[in-house]
């Protein structure tokens, strides 16, 4: 006995016994002899009939075609045992049926369908997923997402799991919002066998996705035949779209699934489940982003630690050993690296050069600028004929870099004459504690100069001060006087002058007392700027 066997959903396993007395109509509507509940199948799609000699297959003007062994049917064509019929994409075999379905049964003579499995739900209904089954699916997704630490790997994994959970889904799209809240694809399936990590396809569900993203609420949408709002190019569809929400309910993107199967439409229960998955996905995304941010921070910290080591090597390792003089220093960057710099060098003629500089800004950019400046300082001092020319050359260098300005205080100490020559480029003035009076006074030129890098034609004016036995000179950056207390008050020059004027046994004790007083003043507040302090004292005979 010849008949038809359906080889795929929505009627997988169905056998239909053909009758020579009755035509067998295949279609979507319930009055058909072989019912295929699928949107792409026309109401009356095709028929199989007996012409007196053999069975014939004829398309009944369907929208999407009937095929026999891969060729489209355009007129009635004869069938032979083993032929493969495709009603759109539903394969059906024409073949001899076993005796289990015989000609003497009433069903075969009436041309009714006999099923090898339970009846599936009617159109518009869906078998509710058992609570335990939903919970298992959600736990499995949570487990898999919890093992993902790379943001780009999360979304294809989620989409693959969703398509596995919902066999009726034939389209899936996951979109992620950028900083401008524009939705961009991160995983796409336009067919169950698609690779979800390939995102070069044209988006087809972005309109519904934008609505859901803006509202932050899931939507279940059924589109009837003839509407152009469907994701699928079929006579109707059923779509579900939910937002991806972060732990703080921030909208991160959307998840969209669509089916063309009337037999298994999405329901409100599915909305609830997929919305939960959207929340779990959002948490996984935020966790992965936090992990990536920590990795970047760790990498940045390692780079900063390396930069700090390099910067510390640029600073003097030893104090000058000059008969009759002592030198002290303190350096503390606000961050891992800073924009302050100091040096002292012994010149070929026996003089001691020492200086202190502060680049605009803090952290790595300021440190990089200062690293270039440190090399240039030593070059200019070694090659320039006068201090004025050395400053002019340094000014041209900083102007050419075009990365900000540098305040710079440079001193040359002639240990034979005890004459200190000072030139200042916009830096806080040196402070001198006169031994005889105990007074603290700034060492300032009659005419101030701008910082290096502000004006290429700037002229710098050196001046002189005689250091007598017991006199002490201090060079500092504004990180000292502008240190901030917890109540945001400034340390200030008055408090610094008081510390310098206080009685101390030697220069080292005085510098240490200033550093400790700064720490007490700041309390638990982090330094807001780099702090650098140099001191030179002429010993009392």
Check residue 441 and give its pLDDT.
Answer: 96
Cis peptide before 79 (omega within 30 of 0): no
**Helix, strand, or coil (residue 82):** coil
The confidence score (pLDDT) of residue 122 equals 36
In the numeric block, the tokens 């075009």 are attached to 402
Q: Does domain 133-192+199-223+235-290 have CATH number 3.30.450.40?
A: yes
Residues 261 and 36: their CA atoms lie apart, in Å, by: 10
Structure tokens at 85: 């019929």
pLDDT computed for residue 162 by the predictor: 85
> What residue spans define the domains of the chain?
2-99, 133-192+199-223+235-290, 317-538
Low-confidence stretches of the chain (pLDDT < 70) are 98-138, 140, 144-151, 196-197, 199-202, 204-205, 223-237, 303-304, 307-308, 310-312, 336-338, 361-364
Q: Tell me the three-class secondary structure of 494-506, residue by residue.
A: HHHHHHHHCCCCC
pTM of structure: 0.51
Q: What is the pLDDT of residue 48?
A: 96
Predicted confidence at residue 109, as pLDDT, reads: 29
Q: How high is the pLDDT of residue 128?
A: 41
CATH of 2-99, one of 3.30.565.10, 2.60.200.20, 3.40.640.10, 3.30.390.50: 2.60.200.20
Q: For residues 259 and 238, what is the distance between their CA atoms, to the nearest angstrom?
A: 5
Task: Give the model confidence (pLDDT) of 228-260 as tens digits.
Answer: 444 344 444 688 999 999 887 889 999 999 888
* H/E stretch holding 272: helix 268-314
Task: Indicate the fold that domain 317-538 takes in CATH.
Answer: Phosphatase 2c; domain 1 (3.60.40)
Q: Are 393 and 380 in contact (CB under 8 A)?
A: yes
């Amino acid at each position: 006995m010849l008949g038809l066997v359906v080889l795929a959903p929505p009627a997988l396993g169905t056998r239909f016994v053909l009758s020579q007395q009755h035509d067998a109509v295949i279609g979507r509507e319930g009055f058909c002899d072989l019912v295929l509940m699928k949107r792409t199948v026309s109401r009356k799609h095709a028929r199989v009939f007996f012409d007196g000699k053999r069975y014939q297959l004829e398309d009944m003007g369907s929208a999407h075609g009937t095929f026999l062994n891969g060729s489209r049917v355009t007129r009635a064509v004869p069938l032979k045992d083993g032929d493969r019929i495709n009603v759109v994409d539903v394969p059906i075999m024409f073949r001899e049926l076993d005796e289990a379905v015989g000609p003497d049964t009433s069903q075969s003579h009436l041309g009714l369908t006999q099923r090898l499995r339970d009846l599936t739900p009617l159109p518009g209904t869906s078998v509710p997923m058992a609570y335990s089954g939903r919970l298992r699916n959600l736990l499995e997704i949570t487990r898999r997402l919890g093992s993902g630490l790379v943001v780009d790997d999360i979304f294809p994994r989620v989409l693959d799991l969703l398509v596995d959970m919902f066999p009726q889904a034939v389209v899936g799209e996951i979109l992620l919002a950028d900083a401008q809240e524009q939705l961009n694809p991160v995983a796409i399936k336009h067919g169950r066998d698609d690779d979800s990590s390939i995102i070069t396809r044209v988006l087809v569900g972005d309109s519904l996705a934008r609505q859901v993203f803006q509202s932050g609420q899931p939507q279940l949408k059924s589109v009837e035949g003839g509407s152009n709002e469907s994701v699928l190019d079929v006579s109707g569809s059923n779509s579900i779209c939910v937002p991806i929400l972060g732990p703080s309910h921030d909208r991160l993107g959307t998840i969209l699934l669509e089916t063309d199967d009337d037999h298994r439409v999405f329901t409100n229960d599915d909305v609830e489940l997929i919305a939960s998955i959207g929340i779990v996905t959002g948490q996984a995304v935020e966790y992965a982003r936090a992990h990536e941010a920590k990795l970047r921070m760790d990498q940045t910290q390692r780079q900063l630690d390396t930069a700090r080591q390099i910067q510390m090597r640029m600073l003097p390792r030893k104090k000058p050993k000059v008969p009759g003089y002592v030198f002290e220093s303190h350096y503390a960057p606000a961050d891992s690296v800073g924009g302050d710099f100091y040096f002292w060098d012994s010149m070929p003629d026996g003089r001691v050069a020492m200086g202190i500089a502060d680049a605009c800004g803090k952290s790595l950019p300021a440190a990089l600028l200062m690293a270039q400046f440190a090399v240039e300082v030593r070059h200019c001092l070694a090659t320039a004929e006068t201090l004025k020319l050395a400053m002019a050359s340094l000014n041209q260098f900083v102007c050419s870099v075009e990365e900000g300005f540098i305040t710079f205080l440079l001193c040359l100490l002639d240990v034979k004459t005890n004459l200190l020559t000072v030139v200042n480029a916009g830096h806080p003035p040196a402070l001198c504690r006169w031994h005889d009076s105990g007074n603290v006074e700034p060492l300032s030129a009659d005419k101030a100069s701008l910082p290096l890098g502000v004006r290429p034609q700037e002229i710098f004016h050196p001046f002189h001060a005689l250091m007598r036995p017991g006199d002490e000179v201090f060079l500092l950056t504004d990180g000292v006087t502008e240190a901030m207390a917890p109540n945001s008050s400034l340390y200030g020059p008055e408090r610094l002058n008081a510390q310098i004027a206080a009685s101390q046994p030697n220069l080292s004790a005085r510098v240490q007392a200033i550093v400790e007083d700064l720490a007490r003043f700041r309390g638990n507040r982090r330094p807001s700027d780099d702090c650098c302090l140099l001191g030179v004292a002429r010993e009392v005979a």
